[in-house]
C-alpha cells in the first residue's frame, strides 16, 4: 500500500510536469505571455536577458526550496526540487506543438494546462513554483496577512512589470492566464464537490439531528450548548448545536428540512476548504 501511494504521487508529479510544460511551450511562450509567481518572473527575465527559461526556473526556485527544506522538511524539499528540475528538463529538451496563434485561446488554455500541472504536482506532494512556500512563510511571520494576500501582492508587482516589459496587451492577457490557472488549480485540489459546513442552533436539535442522519443520510456532530440572548428570552437554556458537512447541491434540501422542523432555527453556513475522515458521502439506507 505504501509503494502504491508513492507510485501514484510520482505519476501525478510527472503528469504535472508534462501539463505545465505544454502550457508554457505550447501556448504562453510563442505568444510572449507570462503566468504568475516564479514562473512569471523567470519568463520576464528570460525575455530581457535571453538566458534560457529552463535554467532560470530552476535557479530562481532554489532559494524557495531552501526555505521549504528548513521550514517544511527535507522530504518535501527533495520532491519539489526533483519536480522543478523535471520541469526545467522538459522545457529544455522536450518538443511541444505551438497549438494556436489566437491570443484569447492561448491565455485561457495555457493557464488551464499550467494550473492542471501545478495542481497535480501539489496532489503528488511537491510544488512546481516556489511562490506558495514564500507566501506561507511570510503569512506565518506577519500573522495578520493571509497566504492568498501575499501571492496576490506578488503577482500585482509581476504583472505591472509585464505591462512595461511586454506591452499592455500581453500584460492583460497574462492576467487572464493567471486567473485561468488559479481556477484550474482550485478545481484539481478541491474538485466539483466543494463542501459547505452547516451549524444549526435549535430547541429541536434532536429532531433535526434525526432528520439529517435518517432522512438525508448525512453524518452530524452534536455540541452541547446554552442559549445566550435570543428572541424567546430564555437565557442559559440547553441547546443542541448540530454541525454537518455537505456538498453545495445538498445545502438547499438540508436547510428546507431544518426549517420544516423549526422555522426559528439559527443556521450558519461556511465554506470548507478540505475535509478528512468522517461521513462525507451520503449514507445508503
- Which run of H or of E encompasses 139? helix 131-142
Cβ pair 179, 250 in contact under 8 A: no
Work out the percent of the chain whose per-residue pLDDT is above 70.
84
Tens of pLDDT, residues 105-124: 999 999 999 999 988 988 88
283: in domain: no
| Beta carbons of 222 and 209 less than 8 angstroms apart | yes
Task: Give me the domain span that covers residue 135.
Answer: 2-190
Q: Is 22 inside a domain boundary?
A: yes
Question: Would the pTM of this model clear 0.85, i.e. be above it?
Answer: no
Same domain, 171 and 206: no
Q: What are phi and psi for residue 232, nearest 5 degrees?
A: -75, -10
Query: In this structure, is the dihedral angle defined by the CA atoms of residues 168, 52, 183 and 110, taken in order, positive or negative?
Result: positive
CB 98 within 8 A of CB 68: no
Question: Tens of pLDDT along 169-180?
Answer: 888 998 899 889
Are residue 118 and residue 215 in the same domain, yes or no?
Answer: no
pLDDT, one tens digit per residue, over 142-178 is 555 555 566 777 788 888 888 888 888 888 998 899 8
Phi, psi (degrees; rounded to nearest 5) at 272: -115, 120
Confidence class of residue 285 from pLDDT cuts 50, 70 and 90?
Answer: very low
Rounded to whole angstroms, how far apart are CA atoms 148 and 170? Answer: 24
Question: Could you give the CA distance from residue 148 to residue 94 in angstroms, rounded to a whole number?
Answer: 33
Same domain, 174 and 216: no
Give pLDDT tens digits for 60-101: 999 888 888 887 788 888 999 999 999 999 999 999 998 888
Residues 83 and 25 in one domain: yes
* Per-residue model confidence (pLDDT) at position 85: 94
Q: Given 168, 190, 212, which residue is the final one in a domain?
A: 190
Amino acid at each position: 500500500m505504501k509503494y502504491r501511494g508513492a507510485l501514484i504521487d510520482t505519476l501525478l508529479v510527472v503528469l504535472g510536469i508534462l501539463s505545465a510544460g505544454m502550457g508554457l511551450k505550447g501556448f504562453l511562450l510563442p505568444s510572449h505571455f507570462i503566468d504568475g509567481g516564479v514562473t512569471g518572473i523567470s519568463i520576464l527575465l528570460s525575455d530581457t536577458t535571453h538566458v534560457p527559461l529552463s535554467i532560470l526556473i530552476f535557479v530562481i526556485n532554489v532559494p524557495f526550496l531552501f526555505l521549504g527544506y528548513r521550514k517544511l522538511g527535507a522530504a518535501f524539499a527533495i520532491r519539489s526540487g526533483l519536480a522543478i528540475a523535471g520541469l526545467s528538463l522538459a522545457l529544455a529538451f522536450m518538443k511541444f506543438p505551438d497549438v494556436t496563434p489566437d491570443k484569447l485561446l492561448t491565455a485561457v488554455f495555457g493557464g488551464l494546462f499550467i494550473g492542471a500541472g501545478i495542481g497535480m504536482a501539489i496532489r503528488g506532494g511537491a510544488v512546481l513554483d516556489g511562490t506558495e512556500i514564500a507566501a506561507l512563510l511570510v503569512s506565518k511571520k506577519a500573522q495578520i496577512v493571509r497566504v492568498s494576500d501575499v501571492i496576490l501582492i506578488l503577482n500585482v508587482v509581476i504583472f505591472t512589470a509585464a505591462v512595461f516589459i511586454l506591452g499592455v496587451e500581453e500584460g492583460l492577457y497574462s492576467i487572464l492566464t493567471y486567473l485561468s490557472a488559479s481556477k484550474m488549480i482550485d478545481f484539481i485540489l478541491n474538485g466539483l464537490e466543494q463542501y459547505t459546513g452547516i451549524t444549526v442552533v435549535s430547541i429541536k436539535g434532536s429532531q433535526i439531528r434525526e432528520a439529517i442522519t435518517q432522512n438525508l443520510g448525512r453524518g452530524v456532530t452534536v455540541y452541547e450548548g446554552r442559549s445566550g440572548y435570543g428572541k424567546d428570552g430564555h437565557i442559559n437554556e440547553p441547546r443542541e448545536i448540530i454541525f454537518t458537512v455537505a456538498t453545495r447541491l445538498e445545502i438547499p434540501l438540508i436547510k428546507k428540512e431544518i426549517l420544516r422542523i423549526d422555522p426559528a432555527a439559527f443556521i450558519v453556513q461556511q465554506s470548507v476548504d478540505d475535509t478528512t475522515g468522517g461521513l462525507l458521502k451520503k449514507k445508503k439506507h
